[in-house]
Amino acid sequence: SYSIFDNNRQDPTGLTAALQATDLAGVLHMLYCVLFHGTISDPSTASPKESYTQNTTQVAIQSLRFFNSFAALDLPAFQSIVGAEGLSLAFRHMASSLLGHCSQVSCESLLHEVIVCVGYFTVNHPDNQVIVQSGRHPTVLQKLCQLPFQYFSDPRLIKVLFPSLIAACYNNRQNKVILEQEMSCVLLATFIQDFAQTPGQPDNQSYQPKGKYPDPQDYLELANRFPQQAWEEARQFFLKKEKK
């Protein structure tokens, strides 16, 4: 069965190599320019613009869907491209600004693509985990932790947010401490346990022909966003109390 966490992937079409050579076909550069066109040259010192037109929002949604599709196709390549020096800062600034926009203007489709993308960016990647908790406050990680209450209470929205919080904080004590300032990590441990105990989750995925991609409806599933072999370790990590 197909898993985005398989390491021995082939690239017979040369697509991954082409996207690596062109920084994801320049889409992240393009999105950055669209979002921050006309702002001060050093965005880290500027008050980020966090309200965008509908056209700009649509460009952002399609760009993020492209990033997420590529991450599902070749996760290590996606993480290394977007995690590279320069691009990683652009990604962080973009994610932070879009999360800010979504806190002011209701746009669930955009918000969910950003949440999923941050998860792909950080899963099993310590360097990228640092990026989402660095920079001006509130950081990307803090903004995720400060989403509306429904994302911590409504099962449909929990399923969107919690896998990305798990990915961003697993085995990273500093990120976990930031998380604990906003919520109980026991919620994440319980979420993992519920998935592990629920029969019919995509753990044996026998319903899928070998080599096929997961059903698009399954892209939010925990198994497609955090490696199943690490579920129990992650559950224990989030249950463990950190010393102050």
CA 118 to chain centre: 2
Phi, psi of 211 (to 5 degrees): 85, -5
Structure tokens at 62: 């399609």
CB 96, CB 47: distance < 8 Å: no
Is the bond into 138 cis (omega within 30 degrees of 0)?
Answer: yes
CB 164, CB 119: distance < 8 Å: yes
pLDDT of res. 205? 40
pLDDT for residue 49 is more than 90: no
Q: How many Å apart are CA 160 and CA 38, to the nearest integer?
A: 33
pLDDT for residue 137 is more than 60: yes
Structure tokens at 241: 């109390």
CB 85, CB 22: distance < 8 Å: no
Task: Pick the range with the lowest mean pLDDT from 90-99, 116-125, 166-175, 200-209.
Answer: 200-209
- The model's pLDDT over 167-203, given as tens digits with 9 standing for 90+, comes to 999 999 999 999 999 999 999 999 999 999 875 544 4
Q: How many Å apart are CA 22 and CA 25, to the nearest integer?
A: 5
pLDDT of res. 53? 92
Provide the greatest CA pair distance for the chain: 53
The amino acid present at 203, given as its one-letter code, is D
Q: How many Å apart are CA 198 and CA 103, to the nearest integer?
A: 33
pLDDT for residue 102 is more than 50: yes
CB 50, CB 93: distance < 8 Å: no
> Which residue has 């965005």 as its token pair?
43
> Which residue has 């691009």 as its token pair?
87
Residue 67 makes CB contacts below 8 A (sequence gap 6+) with 24, 27, 28, 78, 82, 117, 120
pLDDT band at 39 (very low <50, low <70, confident <90, very high): low
Segment 97-122 mean pLDDT = 97
CB 79, CB 31: distance < 8 Å: no
The amino acid present at 232, given as its one-letter code, is E
pLDDT for residue 2 is more than 80: no
Q: How many Å apart are CA 236 and CA 219, to the nearest integer?
A: 25
pLDDT of res. 10? 81
Q: What is the CA radius of gyration of the chain?
A: 18
- Averaged pLDDT of the chain: 89
Structure tokens at 224: 């497609």
